[in-house]
Structure 1
Amino acid sequence: MVGSMASSFSILTSPKQKNSPSIDAVLGNDDLVTEILLRVPPKAVLRFKLVSKKWLSIISNTSFATRHTHLNPHTVSALLLRVSFSSKEPPTHKYVSLDGKSLAYFSYDFLDFDPSNNPGCIYVSQSCNGLLLCSKCRRDLPERSQPINYIFNPTTRQFAVLPPPPDDGQFFDSIQLVFDPSESSCYRVVCTQFFTSELKIYVFSSETKDWKLCVSQESFDFLPVNFADGVFWNGAVHWISPMGNGFSFLLDKECLETIPRPPLPENWQEQNFRYFGESDRHLHFIGVLAGNPNPDDLNRGIVTPDMSHDQSTDQSIVVYTMERGFSKWFVKYCLHMNAIVMAYPEITEDEDLAASPFSAEKGSVRLLSFIGGDNNEGPLLVMWILGEIISFCFKDKTFKKILRLPFKHATCYALNYTETLSCV
């Protein structure tokens, strides 16, 4: 559909092609052209700026970008991989299509969008519905200088320098990008500060261009959560501990709430935790359990005896999903490790890795991302397996190689990515 639409446009707009009266009538109707362009994918829309001055004017209008962003579903179309081969060198970024067929790499100057910065000193820390939160590498900053953060749209190449949080950003624990194009064309950034039992939460709005203190709570009952791993979902930023305890910051109400704990078995330990994220408008908590449990049994709180086994290959990856009403978690999917070993037997052949191939830190299998059913591939579990990026489709129970990295021991971090025309 999209391909045929793009082909039709190229024919209609070819300078050598004499258009029929009906085609001229369509191209001469700005409202109709606008409605058609609103349904074209972002990158194709940007190419159509070259068709004519009139189309350039239509597409460049801020209201067009807002309508296009709101109209088009923001499904995850690719992964943005941040790969580090050495602690002495800045990470590289790779854009990888989820179909495993067309691999598109960001160019070496992908993040050189700020002409005032030295090339290669910016990295991507977060992705939220098409916008990226980028930071300047600390080793490239003078001592005691304030961090530099950007909001960057790689589709349009637009960027904005984020004003430093209060205290010049010297004492913040984390910043979290918040962008929901289905609700607003504006984005927000949440900054948390936790010091000597006092929690402060500031929010920056792209609409007001200023920071606002929204929460100041003394004697905060600090849970062992990682503030750097906040997740935006359903109008709130959520933080959770490896044991499943956590809390949320509701942006519109500017208050804190406790997160319901997943129905984890009694023998759950911190090292069982693997992933916490959002996809397909759902929140996901993923961990590893011994044995081969049944999702229905786990939801009823039934733990079978074989789940106490500690054999590394007798384990399962369990995906917990939060209900949209934020009332409770339920087990959505289970993947037994034996299926991974059968597909990749070399996992247990390496003597250094065979003892604990599914270790969160040093194992040969590491979980990178979970992508819900908002794409053509179906629910996907994305893993790093011995230097390869592999996806497992829960729909048809198949594995697919997405990308092979040049080194088996590279550190890889994955961000779900989509395209948007949203202005920054």
Structure 2
Amino acid sequence: IKFKRSRTVEVSDASTAEHTSAADTVAGNGDLLTEILLRLPIRSLLRFKSVSKHWLSLITNPHFSLLRNPHPNPPSGLFLHRSLYHGNPNFEWVPLDDTQNPTNKAPFGSLNSIHDPSGIKILQSCNGLLCCCSFRVHGPKRSYYIHNPTTKQFTTLPRVSTTVYGVNLAFDPSKSPHYKVVCVRGSELVPEHYQIEIYSSDTGPWRVSGRPFTANPNTQFNCGVYWNGAIHWVSPWGDSLYFNVDEERLETMPMPPVRNSRDVRMIKYFGESRDHLHLVQIYERPFSTQFNVYEIERDYSNWFVKFRVDLDEVPTVFPEMIRKLHQWGSGDYAFALLSLVRGEKDEDSFLVLCIPGMAIRYNFVDKTFRKLCDFAPSPHDIEGIDILDSLLLGGWYSAFQYIESLSCV
């Protein structure tokens, strides 16, 4: 009996020694450990950062992030501002996968990781990072932040002393681990002119770029879209603009024609997906369930119709969509365009819409649609104004893509 017991101990000790030796080999080989870590989901990597300083160094290295995702991940969900009026707004989560994956849960309900007593508002989502600002503070006292919602890290941008019309993020992790922030403010030198300043996460403080310039006062500088190395701003009247961030060059962006010369440009969506820039204009009142999605050429030479949308069948399945809107709308179909998501193929591309009580997903090619989630009433909703009404007031720029990212801020 004693002999058998001794053999068991010897075998156990040998096995433990083998495992220890293998673990030491992996831990001591940075290349091998990196190859293993690259195959893990982001949520696991976030936990493993606390294993050791060596693991933390590997996982937070910008080169590791680029190896893991040479191109930005596709969005897994959307955040919607629940209300335009609530002091510290909560966010509604819309999962984008149509498999109802139970693991696709909201990374946050509110931006509590940024401790701003006035609350936090999201301004822009750009390839995994969020540009945010103080919610109830305006003018020089307003703070601006760049936030990674995956890692919960954020940085506070230096204050801008003059009137700010827009702060926009330019970030492409496939080209650089660093980001730039473009601020459009009032010119201190020339009245009724604008001035651009740039902040770089690599080089630091704000610096003036170019000369003061004029623009249509309705230009949506607070809703810039980053694409093709430039920030793009649309205007319901007159010229729209784009600013090439690397070349620091401001240009006029052509737009699709309006229905007639007296029409205001009715922009219902303007955004980027998978390196394509899209625009939706709807002029019909009542709002039509049939409209075009435009895409612009990379050389800005032309907008062309990329997709044709036909929502005629949606009200038959979701009759909630049929209702008379409040005073800020006049149609019999209540919907707001939240996001356009391009797939690797056109067949995988879809549109996300909000209709009363829910979000739905519409496939461009086969015209099928399905419900993504329900919106429960919130105690923060103002009586008579639900989340759809808030989105109709706030527009497409109240929805923000969530993209998992390990990028540093």
TM bracket (short chain): 0.7 to 0.9
Would you say the 8 A contact 2:282–2:288 is kept in 1?
no
Show structure 1 runs of 5+ residues with no match: 1-14, 291-309
Residue 171 of structure 1 pairs with residue 172 of structure 2: no
Aligned match for 1:370, one of 340, 345, 357: 340
The count of corresponding residues between Structure 1 and Structure 2 is 374
How far does the alpha carbon of each residue in 1:232-268 deviate from its partner, in whole angstroms, 9 at most, with x for none?
1111111112358411111122121111222555488
Q: State the match for 2:401 in structure 1.
A: 416
CA distance in 2, matches of 1:345, 1:105: 28
CA distance in 2, matches of 1:164, 1:422: 23
How far does the alpha carbon of each residue in 1:1-42 deviate from its partner, in whole angstroms, 9 at most, with x for none?
xxxxxxxxxxxxxx9997498787556532122133234343
- The farther-off stretch of 178-187 and 373-382 is 373-382
Would you say the 8 A contact 1:77–1:375 is kept in 2?
no
AA aligned opposite 1:322: I
How far does the alpha carbon of each residue in 1:281-328 deviate from its partner, in whole angstroms, 9 at most, with x for none?
0111112255xxxxxxxxxxxxxxxxxxx6x37541210001233321
Question: Aligned in 2, Cα 1:73/1:226: closer, same or farther, shift over 3 Å?
Answer: closer
CA distance in 1, matches of 2:55, 2:220: 47
Structure 1 or 2, whichever has the larger Rg, is 2
Question: Aligned in 2, Cα 1:20/1:160: closer, same or farther, shift over 3 Å?
Answer: closer
CA distance in 2, matches of 1:355, 1:163: 37
CA distance in 2, matches of 1:423, 1:335: 38
CA distance in 2, matches of 1:375, 1:77: 17
- After TM superposition, give the deviation of residue 193 of structure 1 in Å: 2.1
CA distance in 1, matches of 2:17, 2:258: 65
Would you say the 8 A contact 1:49–1:55 is kept in 2?
yes
Show structure 2 runs of 5+ residues with no match: 1-14, 378-384, 392-397
- The farther-off stretch of 233-242 and 33-42 is 33-42
Would you say the 8 A contact 2:227–2:272 is kept in 1?
yes
Would you say the 8 A contact 1:68–1:421 is kept in 2?
no
AA aligned opposite 2:181: V
Q: State the match for 1:162 in structure 2.
A: 157
Aligned match for 1:237, one of 225, 231, 241: 231
AA aligned opposite 1:104: K
Would you say the 8 A contact 1:76–1:374 is kept in 2?
no
- After TM superposition, give the deviation of residue 209 of structure 1 in Å: 1.0
State TM-score, norm by structure 2: 0.80
Would you say the 8 A contact 2:60–2:408 is kept in 1?
no
Q: State the match for 2:125 in structure 1.
A: 127
AA aligned opposite 1:340: V
Residue 180 of structure 1 pairs with residue 172 of structure 2: yes
Q: State the match for 2:245 in structure 1.
A: 251
Aligned Cα RMSD in Å?
3.4
Question: Aligned in 2, Cα 1:328/1:223: closer, same or farther, shift over 3 Å?
Answer: farther
State TM-score, norm by structure 1: 0.77
Would you say the 8 A contact 2:258–2:265 is kept in 1?
no
Residue 43 of structure 1 pairs with residue 43 of structure 2: yes
Aligned match for 2:88, one of 87, 90, 113: 90
- After TM superposition, give the deviation of residue 51 of structure 1 in Å: 5.2
Q: State the match for 1:346 in structure 2.
A: 320
AA aligned opposite 1:178: A
Question: Aligned in 2, Cα 1:98/1:20: closer, same or farther, shift over 3 Å?
Answer: same
Would you say the 8 A contact 1:202–1:214 is kept in 2?
yes
Q: State the match for 1:211 in structure 2.
A: 206
Question: Aligned in 2, Cα 1:26/1:152: closer, same or farther, shift over 3 Å?
Answer: same
How far does the alpha carbon of each residue in 1:129-188 deviate from its partner, in whole angstroms, 9 at most, with x for none?
11111212225x8xx6511111111111211110012xx2x4111111111111111111
Question: Aligned in 2, Cα 1:38/1:259: closer, same or farther, shift over 3 Å?
Answer: same
- After TM superposition, give the deviation of residue 346 of structure 1 in Å: 3.4
Residue 380 of structure 1 pairs with residue 353 of structure 2: no
CA distance in 1, matches of 2:340, 2:351: 5
Give the 3-state SS of the residue equivalent to 2:407 in structure 1.
coil
CA distance in 1, matches of 2:227, 2:130: 16
Give the 3-state SS of the residue equivalent to 1:270 in structure 2.
coil
Residue 333 of structure 1 pairs with residue 307 of structure 2: yes
